Amino acid sequence: MSSRQSTLTAAVVTLLGATLGGLVLWRMRMQKKQLPAQGRKGEMGATSGPLSVETEPVVVESKNPAESHSQIPCKPMKPQLPPVQSSCFPFAALAPPVDQVIAVPPVLVRSEEEWEKMWPVMQRELSVYPVLGLDCEWVKSQTKCLGVSMKGKASLVSLLQMASYSGLCVLVRLQSFRTGLPLSLKEVLRDPHILKVGVGCYEDGKRLTQDYGLALGCTLDLRYLALRQRQVVLNNGLSLKSLAADILNISLDKSLKLRCSDWEADQLTLEQMSYAARDAQVSISLFFHLLNLHSDTTSGSGCCYTDLASRCQGLVDTPFRQRGGGDGEDGERKRRSRKPVSESPESGDQQVPDPRRNNKRKPLGVGYSARKSPLYDNCFLHAPDGQPLCTCDKKKAKWYLDKGIGVLQSEDPFIVRLLFEPSGRPDSQQDYYLTAKENLCVVCGKSDSYIRKNIVPHEYRRHFPTEMKDHNSHDILLLCTSCHAASNVHDGFLKQQLADEYTAPQGCEEGVRLLEDSDRRRVRSAGRALLTAGEGLPGPRREELQDVIRSFYNNPDVELTPDLLQTAADLETRIFNESYVPHGLKVVKAHAEQGLRGLMGLERRWRQHFLSTMTPRYLPPLWSVSHNHDKFLRKFGEDLPIQLN
């Protein structure tokens, strides 16, 4: 009897244990699903069109009665912040989809006390993903010069936006901190193990340093990441609005009314706060999407800084440089600041196009001019015995006909047979120069707009010995304008690596051919002042300028005639830099010390760099990173004396 009771008791205990364990597991799973969406006003589903979500910002309550005025025209409310899953939790911390991220209401911080309330929450967020979407706002008046506030003072950064992975966005009103910024805020900005991502965040850091002495470290410009990842075709440029539309299918409101609103106002409007938070939230969503860390594919328990940094190798703390003055928000602001833009009287935030200007959005690669004719005509030259020699363009083929040293053998394909023995013949019929080539971008296959790309940049190739660059079109390929622009960005990274490896800096005094001579410039200024102002200058100042000119000509008694003053005013102030060594020449010299193999190694490195960074899918047949290298060794030998150009 007792044995039966023991068995029954064990069965009941087992059943209760299993039930309780199942409830615990179900509750933890539900908490994980609700994690990214905590704090938002309602559940949102993904949409197929551009999203436009309005959220209600939150203001952290202050105990100080003087600061208890709410920024929002509604009753004060305590922030409903999303509880953050720590990285030590056993379940995965998924990066939420963008619609959930932008639905999280922002939190306004105006004092050290309010920041200290938020800081523990931010710490928990950063323990999961050590990355912040970052942006800044300051007064940008359209009626005054850029950088001057509406109150007539030099415009300081007014608002700092920081968004974490879940969408929690803190809006810090920097000018409201009367006793200085909190130490924890300064530390998180300069922390080298917390990524700050955005469009133009490196430049934002320079403004924060200039205005408040803040050090912003570990920044990542999303434009570089978009160009490197190449997950989508960037049709609209590289501004934050364009990236959001192309990659996230999100429509950002960048109307003049909001961008140039008064960010120093005593109370920010709901529209201002939503606009500011959206930029930071979209930035961090772009980051996760470009690294393929969004919720559709991620299955890890957060991500440490080392993992994130390894995916952004070479991009951290790098200012964005792009041909044509930049295509980001800063570039758009500068272009708009050059001419005032009128606004529609019916809707204060709609821009009226200026009929004198081309108002079409400039695509990526706007600074490049596409070819107006095909590069490859695929005409053939044959030897007198009929052996194919190479392909060439039609103009060159007709030249042989016009000179009477060739005869037309075929119209389609266009073949010219030479009437003389050529200086050289291909080693085999499997030769790169015997293959017909298509007129399309070798990366994406676009065939209606392309430009020539030098795989080994001209600044290096021009110093190669003649034997390595004569009649060599292998390293000239066709790219569309946007792929060409992206390739140039990648080339900049390799150039910087070569500059570091071979102590061949770019853009410093050693790399500048002409230097500005300060003494000659002072003499020129003195000559121009004496010519234009003349007797109108005060006596002591006039004598001082005359002494400058006499001292330059080493003659204290020389008469300063109008002709002499004109000579001084026209003085050339630039002098040749005797220490000038071009970056490309210095790199090529370093490789030439290893002989022919060293130069072939540099050539191979650039070719492999192009394959690795651009992953071309339409390369011509027989294109190779080792093209002609075996031929060079057979023909010239490893001991070829290198004579650089």
Query: pLDDT of 184-231, one tens digit each?
Result: 998 899 888 899 999 988 888 888 888 888 888 888 898 888 887 664
Q: What's the CA gap between 106 and 129, in Å, rounded?
A: 19
The reported pLDDT for the residue numbered 316 is 82
Helix (H, G, I), strand (E, B) or coil at 121: helix
Following DSSP, what letter does each residue of 193-206 receive, concatenated? TSEEEESSHHHHHH
The reported pLDDT for the residue numbered 82 is 41
141 near 148, Cβ under 8 Å?
A: yes
The reported pLDDT for the residue numbered 41 is 37
573 near 520, Cβ under 8 Å?
A: yes
The DSSP 8-state label assigned to residue 451 in this structure reads: E
Backbone torsions φ then ψ of 171, nearest 5 degrees: -105, 110
- Domains of the chain, first to last: 88-322 (3.30.420.10), 371-437 (no CATH), 441-511+581-645 (no CATH), 514-576 (no CATH)
The confidence band for 34, taking pLDDT boundaries of 50, 70 and 90, is very low
The DSSP 8-state label assigned to residue 253 in this structure reads: -
The confidence band for 291, taking pLDDT boundaries of 50, 70 and 90, is confident
Extract the runs of DSSP E, i.e. beta strands, from 402-526: 406-410, 415-418, 451-454, 476-479, 514-516
486 near 230, Cβ under 8 Å?
A: yes
Look at residue 550 and tell me whether its pLDDT is greater than 60.
yes
The tens digit of pLDDT for each residue in 435-494 reads 888 899 999 888 887 888 999 999 899 888 887 877 678 899 999 888 888 888 888 888
The reported pLDDT for the residue numbered 602 is 94
DSSP strand pairing (476-479 vs 451-454): antiparallel
The confidence band for 578, taking pLDDT boundaries of 50, 70 and 90, is low
The reported pLDDT for the residue numbered 279 is 92
93 near 35, Cβ under 8 Å?
A: yes
Say how many residues make up the chain.
645
Q: What pairs with residue 30 in β-bridges? A: none
This prediction has a pTM of 0.47
Look at residue 618 and tell me whether its pLDDT is greater than 70.
yes
**Rama region for 514: left / alpha / beta (φ>0; ψ in -120 to 50; rest):** beta
Average pLDDT of the segment spanning 113-137:
91
Average pLDDT of the segment spanning 577-587:
78
Look at residue 272 and tell me whether its pLDDT is greater than 80.
yes
Q: Which residue has the higher pLDDT, 94 or 387?
A: 387
Q: Which residue has the higher pLDDT, 123 or 636?
A: 123
The confidence band for 251, taking pLDDT boundaries of 50, 70 and 90, is confident
Among 11-20, 193-202, 548-557, the least confident range: 11-20
Average pLDDT of the segment spanning 231-246:
73
CB atoms within 10 A of CB 78: 10
Q: What pairs with residue 250 in β-bridges? A: 51
Q: What's the CA gap between 509 and 497, in Å, rounded?
A: 19
Average pLDDT of the segment spanning 596-606:
92
Ranges of H-type helices in 570-615: 583-592, 596-614
The confidence band for 434, taking pLDDT boundaries of 50, 70 and 90, is confident
Q: What's the CA gap between 419 and 286, in Å, rounded?
A: 62
C-alpha separations of 596 from 421, 517, 641, 642 in Å? 30, 40, 8, 7
The reported pLDDT for the residue numbered 471 is 66
Q: Which residues contact 221 (CB under 8 A, 6 or more apart)?
A: 198, 199, 200, 201, 202, 315, 318, 319, 320
Among 15-19, 541-545, 641-645, the least confident range: 15-19
* 3-state percent helix, strand, coil for the chain, nearest multiple of 5: 40, 10, 50
Among 4-13, 255-264, 367-376, 559-568, the least confident range: 4-13
Q: CA nearest 280: which of 258, 252, 257? A: 252
N- to C-terminal Cα separation, the chain: 105
